């Protein structure tokens, strides 16, 4: 028999720069109103995952690139971006070395969240 304590390295501790309440909110996810869920095809959207992305955007103390990544993920889920949009994102990433959305692209996702899910986010 092998001894598991000697073969496994010590656990890695990651210190998070956030409040416990913010972590709890991110874990629980943003509550999306039932009437808004019913308007959208539930088989097309994972509302729990969308709620977690929204909560992470709000509470994770992310930089602009991190927030843009979440907005892009939500926009892709909602099919707000075309293939040419995604190609433009990749082109910008290759050209600048960082991922970002333009103000108009951010606003497009924020408007969709507000109009379709009743979720208010700031740009």
Q: What is the per-residue pLDDT across 11-64, written as a single tens digit (0 to 9) for each?
A: 777 665 555 555 555 565 677 778 877 777 766 778 888 989 998 998 888 899
Measured between alpha carbons, how far is 79 from 19 in angstroms, rounded to an integer? 33
- The pLDDT, as a whole number, for residue 19 is 55
Backbone dihedral region for residue 58 (phi beyond 0: left; psi -120 to 50: alpha; all else: beta): alpha
Highest mean pLDDT among 42-46, 84-88, 116-120: 84-88
Going from N- to C-terminal start, the domains of the chain cover 4-117
Highest mean pLDDT among 3-7, 25-29, 47-51, 70-74: 70-74
Higher pLDDT, 30 or 114: 114
- The pLDDT, as a whole number, for residue 23 is 55
| Joined tokens for residue 43 | 């088989």
Tell which residue, 23, 105, 7, has the closest CA to residue 56: 23
Name the DSSP letter for residue 100: -
- The pLDDT, as a whole number, for residue 86 is 92
């Amino acid at each position: 028999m092998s001894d598991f304590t000697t073969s496994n390295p010590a656990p890695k501790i990651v210190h998070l720069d956030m409040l416990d309440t913010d972590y709890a909110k991110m874990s629980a996810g943003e509550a999306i109103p039932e009437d808004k869920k019913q308007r959208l095809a539930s088989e097309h959207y994972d509302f729990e995952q969308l709620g977690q992305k929204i909560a992470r955007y709000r509470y994770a103390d992310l930089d602009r690139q991190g927030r843009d990544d979440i907005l892009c993920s939500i926009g892709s889920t909602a099919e707000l971006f075309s293939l040419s949009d995604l190609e433009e994102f990749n082109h910008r990433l290759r050209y600048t070395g960082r991922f970002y959305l333009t103000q108009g692209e951010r606003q497009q996702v924020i408007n969709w969240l507000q109009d379709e899910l009743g979720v208010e986010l700031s740009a």
